[in-house]
Structure 1
Amino acid sequence: MVSVNNFSISFGDTKIVENINFEVQKGEIVTLLGKSGCGKTTILRAIAGLQKEHDGEICIGNTCVSSKDVYEKNREVGYIFQDYALFPHLNVEENIAFALDKLSKKDREAKVQKLLNQFDIVDHRKKQIHQLSGGQQQRVAIARAMANNPKILLLDEPFANLDSQLRYKTKMWVKNLIKKYELSAILVTHDKKEALSISDKIGIINNKKMIQFDTAKNMYNNPKNFYIANFLSEINIIPDTLLKDLDVKTNENQIAIAYTKDCKLSTENNSIEIEIIDYSYYGENYEVIYKLKNFEHEQNLHSQVENIESIIDKTLFLNISKDDIKIIEK
């Protein structure tokens, strides 16, 4: 449904992104992931037609809607902004109706009623926006975005203003909505857990480039380089001295990592004795920071344990095997 080809954009002399390429199929959720300011929202705005000047092409279906040669305004796109962009002087049903200005009054009222029912906000129809909770405001924003039956849904940090419990519920609700109506959805976020849990595919942007585009599962299990591995998960860089002990070889362009979940701490004696430096409680478990006693290096390592009392004041060892180590590009 959506194809972005060789997309580049600059503001003055400042290059924002360059040579971005990805596709979104019908019923698919693609997430653009990266640090704040990396250009994710700029790409979203260009797809929506809000950012006209750029290089490359944006195609919807078989039609090029945006390039230096062509600009089409009607794109069958629904856009949900981070702050929802609702009109504070209009009530709920007036906000939704605003997107239906081309319909007759009778058809507009019928459509608004349908959307109020569909998104379970009938009881709030006459309320002003400031009278709604964050989750209710988001439902109004989505109802307005869906008013003209878009084929493409663009979501810019849509869950950022919700508390953690409501964020999870709303995220699953939005995901089911996209699948039910077979929309092509593009989500922008800097939250890796959010991206992994909702996405069919993820594109990670760093230094103006999309450095990997893949399924969420494959990207997590097979990161292209250290930046992606470190961005998506908690990892340890394995020191060279330990690599030699485990008979793991790397070249000058590679780095050896292990997920912290695979770095187990144990009282079972082996050659990799550790010394705990610090630990912190994080609800489900403790994060333990430690160093290796018998290897000369300055790199601290991290592991997670469920019961800190079971290891404190005991002689501890790192339980890691060759199979736990991934060799990736720097």
Structure 2
Amino acid sequence: MLSINNFSISFNETKILEDINFDVKQGEIVTLLGSSGCGKTTILRAIAGLQKEHDGNICIGDTCVSSKEVYKQDREVGYIFQDYALFPHLNVEENISFALDKLSKKDRNKRVDQLLEQFDIIAHKHKQIHQLSGGQQQRVAIARAMANKPKILLLDEPFANLDSQLRYKTKMWLKNLIKKYNLSAVLVTHDKKEALSISDKIGIIHNKKLLQFDATQDIYSKPVNFYIANFLSEINILPKALIEKLELNVKENQTAIIEISKSKLTNKNTLLEVEIVDKSFCGEYYEILVKDVKNNETDELSMIKSTLENIDLNEKIYLDLKRENIKIILK
């Protein structure tokens, strides 16, 4: 449904993105994930036709809609902005109607009523935007984006302005909506949990490049390098002492890691005795900093979401890791 080929863009002399390639199938939710300012929104704007100057091709279906040779203004996309971009001087009905200017008044009114009903905001039809809650405003923005029955939905940090409870409910509602209408969707966020929970595929952007683009479970379980592993999950880097004791084959350009959730402490004698440097109570778990007692030069390990259940702090403490949970990846 959507194909991005060799996409690069510069502002003045500054290169923002370089050689970005990915495809989005029909009915698929793809998330572009990365730190703020990495160029995620720039890609969305280019797909929507709001950013004209770029290298490479953007194709929707079989049609190239944007390149140095071709530029098409009309695209079957709906765009949901981070701040919703609703018109404050128009009411709910008028905001949605704004996207339907090519229809007759009769057809426009009929379509607006369908959308109001569909998104459960019919009771707010004549309200001004400032009279709505954040969640209601978002539904108006989504209704407007869906008004012309787009094939592709573009979402720029769509849940950023919602509280955590409403964010979860809205996220699941939107995911089901996209799947129900078999839309293709490209979501931009810097929230890894949001990306993992809603996406079919994830692309991670860093230093102008798309480092990895893969199915959600694959990119999580098989990160191609340390940056991706550390971005998607909280990890520990194994100290040299433990790598040697486990006889792991780690090359110079590689590092051995393990997810913090799979790092355990025990009083049972294992390969690495550790000393607790610091601990902070966080409710269901402790944030614990430990170091190898036999090697003062070893880097400290931060262990997050580790419990101290059944641990006697007056006894010797060991790091308990299962070999199968250790990953060896590129630095």
| TM-score category, normalised to shorter length | over 0.9
- 2:53 maps to 1:53: yes
The amino acid of 1:292's aligned partner reads D
Matching residue of 2:79: 79
Does the 8 Å contact 1:77/1:151 carry over to 2?
yes
Matching residue of 2:34: 34
Deviates more, 1:288-297 or 1:248-257: 288-297
Percent identity for Structure 1 against Structure 2: 68
Deviates more, 1:111-120 or 1:266-275: 266-275
Matching residue of 1:209: 209
Matching residue of 2:219: 219
Does the 8 Å contact 1:241/1:296 carry over to 2?
no
The CA deviation at 1:75 is 0.9
Matching residue of 1:89: 89
The CA deviation at 1:273 is 1.4
Which whole-Å CA distance do the structure 2 matches of 1:252 and 1:102 have between them?
Answer: 62
The CA deviation at 1:64 is 0.2
Deviates more, 1:87-96 or 1:264-273: 264-273
Does the 8 Å contact 1:286/1:308 carry over to 2?
no
The amino acid of 1:28's aligned partner reads E
Residue aligned with 1:223, SS: coil
The amino acid of 1:197's aligned partner reads S
Matching residue of 1:3: 3
Matching residue of 2:154: 154
Does the 8 Å contact 1:28/1:200 carry over to 2?
yes
Matching residue of 1:320: 321
The amino acid of 1:319's aligned partner reads D
Matching residue of 1:113: 113
> Over the residues paired in the alignment, what is the CA RMSD in angstroms?
1.3
The CA deviation at 1:285 is 2.0
Matching residue of 1:14: 14
Matching residue of 2:186: 186
Residue aligned with 2:224, SS: coil
The amino acid of 1:322's aligned partner reads R
Which whole-Å CA distance do the structure 2 matches of 1:313 and 1:123 have between them?
Answer: 63
Aligned residues: 330
TM (normalized to structure 2)? 0.97
The CA deviation at 1:308 is 5.6
Matching residue of 1:231: 231
Residues 160-208 of structure 1: CA distance to partner in whole angstroms, max 9, x if unpaired?
Answer: 0000111000000110000000000000000011111111000000110
The amino acid of 2:196's aligned partner reads L
- Over 3 Å counting, the alpha-carbon distance change for 1:180 and 1:283 in structure 2 is farther
Which whole-Å CA distance do the structure 2 matches of 1:122 and 1:282 have between them?
Answer: 43
Which whole-Å CA distance do the structure 1 matches of 2:8 and 2:54 have between them?
Answer: 6
The CA deviation at 1:274 is 1.4
Which whole-Å CA distance do the structure 1 matches of 2:55 and 2:283 have between them?
Answer: 47
